[in-house]
Structure 1
Amino acid sequence: MNKTEKKREREKKTVSEMIALYCRKNHGTKGRKLCDECRELREYAVSRSDKCPFMENKTFCSNCKVHCYKPEMRKKIRKVMRYSGPRMIFHHPVMALRHVIENKREKRRLERENYKLNI
C-alpha cells in the first residue's frame, strides 16, 4: 500500500469513527451499529474519499478548495464533525492527536503556498 492509499484509509477510518460516535450519542445506537441515516452518510463519505483526485496533496476535506459533497450531505457531515471532533480525544486519543497534528501541518503548508503566490 502506497502513501496515498494509507492516507485515504486513515481518513475513511477517522470519519467512520466520528460518525459512529455521533450516532451512538445522538441516535442511541449500540456498538458499531449505525442508524440508516448515519450509515448512508458514512457510505457517502467513504465513496467521496475513494474518488478524491486530490488525496496526494491534501489531508482533510475541510482543507480542500473543491467541495465535492452535495450540500445536504455537507451539512450533515459538518454537524457530525462539530459534535464528534471535540469528543474524539476521549474515545480515540491517538487518532484525534494525529488529526490535529496533520491539520496544523496542512494549514502551514497552505499558508506557505499562498505566501509564495502573493510574492
Structure 2
Amino acid sequence: MVKSEARLTADALKRKREREQEIVSQMIALYCKGNHSAHRSAPLRERGGEMQQMREGAALREQDSGERRDLCPECAELEAYAHARSEHCPFMEEKTFCSNCTVHCYRPEMLERIRTVMRYAGPRMLFHHPVMAIRHMIESQRERRRIRSSR
C-alpha cells in the first residue's frame, strides 16, 4: 500500500465490518454475562417491531457463529445499535475502531453504555478471547502511530 492508502475492496471492507462487529458482540456478551445474569430468564419487552428484529438478528448470529448468546434486552438493544452504526459508517475505510474516529455517531446515552461495556470487558477479553484481544491491541497501536505521524 502507498502512503496515500489505497481504498479497501468491497470484500475487505465487509470482513473489516464483520470483525469489528464480532469484537463488539463478544464484549457485550462478556459484560452482560458478568452484570445482567439475573435478567436471562426475564421475558423480552416488546417495543413495536424493534425487539422482534433484534431477536431475529440475534438468532441469525447464533446460527452463523454456532454459539448461543443469551443477552438481556438492554444488551441486545446495545448490540443491535452498535451493529447498525458499524453497517452505516462512512469512515470504515479510513479508521480501525470507533474509538479512533473523529466523528462520534452514537447517541450520548448509547455512547455512555458502550463505554461502560468496553471498560468492563476490555481487560477480560484477554482471558476469554486472547487472540481477538491481542489483534485488537496491535491494530489500535498501529492506528495511534499513524494518526500521530500524520499530524
TM-score band by shorter chain is over 0.9
Give the count of matched residue pairs. Answer: 114
| 2:35 corresponds to | 26
- After TM superposition, the score normalised by the length of structure 1 is 0.92
- After TM superposition, the score normalised by the length of structure 2 is 0.73
Q: Does 1:101 align with 2:138?
A: yes
Following superposition, the deviation at residue 77 of structure 1 comes to 0.1
**Between structures 1 and 2, the one with greater helix share:** 1
Following superposition, the deviation at residue 13 of structure 1 comes to 0.3
Farther off after superposition, 21-30 or 36-45: 21-30
Query: Once the two structures are superposed, what CA deviation does each residue of 1:27-69 show, in whole Å capped at 9, x if it has no partner?
Result: 0149610000000000000000000010010000000000000
Give 5+ residue unaligned stretches, structure 1: 115-119
List aligned pairs for 1:38-49, cutoff 5 A: 38-49=75-86
Aligned match of 1:69 in 98, 101, 106? 106
**4+ residue segments displaced more than 4 Å:** none
Give 5+ residue unaligned stretches, structure 2: 1-9, 42-67
Partner Cα distance (1:46, 1:22) in 2: 16
Partner Cα distance (2:72, 2:18) in 1: 22
Larger gyration radius, structure 1 or structure 2: 2
Farther off after superposition, 57-66 or 22-31: 22-31
Following superposition, the deviation at residue 4 of structure 1 comes to 1.3
Query: Once the two structures are superposed, what CA deviation does each residue of 1:69-103 show, in whole Å capped at 9, x if it has no partner?
Result: 00000000000000000000100001000000000
Q: Which AA in structure 2 matches 1:110? A: I
| 1:10 corresponds to | 19
Partner Cα distance (1:49, 1:113) in 2: 25
